[in-house]
């Protein structure tokens, strides 16, 4: 039986955790469960046992549903929609957000090397966005992040975490040089990037917004977006010049 944790993605046996649709930590109602996708001969008894099952879980926060595929023991294998997509604060650098989102989509299908490449790309764009000239000039990510820590542009705890990640410092000189990446390594890198985004972009933006010092969107605009259907007459999608359209 998997552990109960609000930090892990929801499954029928642990129906709480981050919602792949709205990004909130939420509780889920198990609407359908135990739909067999694949069976195998039961080693413990006669007949067949489920090797993969599907479930539909509905988020108490956004009221939309997600599909979860689990193994025979109930551990999550796959989620639809892919977790982590499009749930970042609008203040996050667009390139960083796009690379992180794509990395999460890769993780969701077990494409670990591709995920690591996208997470490294997010970090590299972060260095270009926030780093000093010295940090930007570094070819290796770990050294660049070390520069940023020395410059006061990266929190010490984040640098210490970065220093312990196998997948930072493994970047080869050529695209074909990438080592194998385990799912644990790719997930670890993804978590690091998520924390870095929260710490370096989202928290500062929320601090300013709550003090009324961040004019990234007027209250009137936000109110009309909250009440209008997505892409409706007052929605963000109606402004063709808004880079948010491409998130
Ligand atoms: Zn939700």
Q: 218: closest CA among 195, 201, 239?
A: 239
Bridge partners (DSSP) of residue 30 are 57
Quick one: tokens of 190? 């993804």
pLDDT of residue 41: 80
Tell me the CATH architecture of domain 94-210.
Up-down Bundle (1.20)
Å from CA of 25 to ligand 1 middle? 8
Q: What is the pLDDT of residue 126?
A: 96
Secondary structure letter of residue 180 according to DSSP: P
> How many Å lie between the centroid of ligand 1 and the Cα of residue 56?
13
Alpha helices in the chain (DSSP H): 94-108, 112-130, 133-136, 141-151, 156-163, 183-197, 203-210, 219-227
* Residues 247, 242: Cα–Cα separation, whole Å: 10
pLDDT of residue 172: 59
The pLDDT assigned to 85 comes to: 66
pLDDT of 171 reads 67
pLDDT at 243: 44
Q: Rounded to the nearest whole angstrom, what is the distance from the C-alpha of residue 66 to the centroid of ligand 1?
A: 9
Spans of all domains in the chain: 16-80, 94-210
Q: What is the pLDDT of residues 9-51, one digit of tens each?
A: 899 999 999 898 988 889 999 999 989 888 888 777 778 887 8
CA 169 to ligand 1 center in whole angstroms: 35
Structure tokens at 210: 């709550």
Regions of the chain short of the pLDDT cut 50: 1, 218-247
Query: Distance from the CA of 64 to the center of ligand 1, in angstroms?
Result: 6
Residues with CB under 5 A from ligand 1 (ion): 19, 21-22, 59, 61-62
Describe the chain by its helix, strand, coil percentages, rounded to 5: 40, 20, 40
C-alpha–C-alpha distance, residues 52 and 40, integer Å:
9
Q: How far is the CA of 85 from the centre of ligand 1 (A)?
A: 12
pLDDT of residue 24: 85
pLDDT at 135: 93
- CA 74/CA 165 separation, integer angstroms: 29
Give the pLDDT confidence score for residue 65 in this predicted structure.
97
Pick from 53, 115, 47: nearest CA to 84: 115
User: What pLDDT is recorded for position 228?
Assistant: 41
C-alpha angle 131-133-134 in degrees, rounded to nearest 5: 90
Torsion of CA 44, 46, 48, 50, to 10 degrees: -30
């Amino acid at each position: 039986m998997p552990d109960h944790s609000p930090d892990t993605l929801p499954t029928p046996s642990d129906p709480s955790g981050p919602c792949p649709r709205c990004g909130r930590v939420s509780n889920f109602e198990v609407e359908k469960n135990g739909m067999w996708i694949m069976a195998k001969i039961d080693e413990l008894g006669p007949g067949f046992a489920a090797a993969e099952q599907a479930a539909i879980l509905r988020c108490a926060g956004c009221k939309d549903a997600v599909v979860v595929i689990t193994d025979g023991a109930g551990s999550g294998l796959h989620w639809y929609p892919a977790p982590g997509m499009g749930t970042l604060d609008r203040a996050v650098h667009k390139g960083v957000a796009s690379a992180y989102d794509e990395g999460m989509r890769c993780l969701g299908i077990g494409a670990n090397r591709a995920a690591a490449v996208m997470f490294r790309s997010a970090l590299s764009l972060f260095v270009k966005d926030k780093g000093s000239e010295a940090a930007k000039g570094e070819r290796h990510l770990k050294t660049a992040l070390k520069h940023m820590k020395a410059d006061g542009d990266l929190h010490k705890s984040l640098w210490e975490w970065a220093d312990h990640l196998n997948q930072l410092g493994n970047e080869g000189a050529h695209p074909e040089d990438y080592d194998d990446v385990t799912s644990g390594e790719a997930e670890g890198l993804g978590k690091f990037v998520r924390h870095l985004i929260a710490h370096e972009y989202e928290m500062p933006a929320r601090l300013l917004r709550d003090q009324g010092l961040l004019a990234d969107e007027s209250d009137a605009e936000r109110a009309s977006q909250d009440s209008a259907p997505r892409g409706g007459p007052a929605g963000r999608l109606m402004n063709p010049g808004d880079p948010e359209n491409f998130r």
